[in-house]
Amino acid sequence: MNYRQKLILEKLAARDYMTIEALAQEFGVSKMTIHRDLAALQQAGFVLKQYGKVTAMPKRNSSWADQCQMCGQKIKEQNAFTLVSAEGNLYRLCCPHCGLMAYRQHGDSWQTLATDFLHGHVITAFQAHYLIDLELTICCSPTVLAFDSRAEALKFQKGFGGRVVDFYQAVEFINQNPIRSQIHGGSQ
Ligand SMILES: [Zn+2]
Ligand SMILES: [Zn+2]
């Protein structure tokens, strides 16, 4: 660890987060240099880079990866959504609703994974079928569910209403229906 990396950790210990911009200014170096410092620190498990901000990594036993990075809700694998940005940052979201919200903010992500709601296996989010506008709230509202198979999405639609759309239509839906309320149900 170099001297600057050590100072970065000390600074982070004193506050919730710092932006990469602020760190670059603070040390009078380029953002690229800070990125390199942080990449090394992240690899060593000391910090977490997300949304251009950096936070000190919570202690080992706390579970940042179990919490949605949009709404803070605990992630259940059945509905989980994962984005990996072009910079290699990992974003874990509780459901397609939060996943598509995050995608809107990080459109440059090169890997986007959803979970098939019925079977729980991981699918490429771009190729998934989404059920929107349904008469049921699962996780966040308005609820979006992801399916591998269009036939199964349509079957689900018969029971719960709504529309079956593709990835970009689902993003558009989230665009037009920003969060009405988060953390629904709350059943643990
Ligand atoms: Zn969420
Ligand atoms: Zn959710």
The domain ranges of the chain are 3-56, 69-176
Buried b (16+ CB within 10 A) or exposed e, 163-172: ebbebeebbe
Please tell me the pTM assigned to this model. 0.63
What's the CA-to-centroid distance between 149 and ligand 2, angstroms?
21
Q: How far is the centre of ligand 1, averaged over its atoms, from the C-alpha of 8 (Å)?
A: 29
**What CATH code would you report for 3-56?**
1.10.10.10
CA of 158 to the centre of ligand 1 (A): 26
Comparison of pLDDT for 140 and 188, the residue scoring more: 140
The DSSP annotation for 17-59 comes to -EEHHHHHHHHTS-HHHHHHHHHHHHHTTSEEEETTEEEEPPP
- CA–centroid distance, 52 to ligand 2, in Å, is 22
Assess whether the previous peptide bond of 142 is cis (omega < 30° from 0).
yes
pLDDT band at 172 (very low <50, low <70, confident <90, very high): very high
Identify any residues that bridge with 47 across adjacent strands, giving them in sequence order: 56
> Which of the four pLDDT bands, split at 50, 70 and 90, describes residue 65?
low
Give the three-class secondary structure for 97: helix
pLDDT higher than 50, residue 62: no
For residue 22, the surrounding DSSP H or E stretch is helix 20-27
| 39 alpha carbon – ligand 2 mean position (Å) | 28
What is the Cα–Cα distance from 108 to 111, expressed in whole angstroms?
9
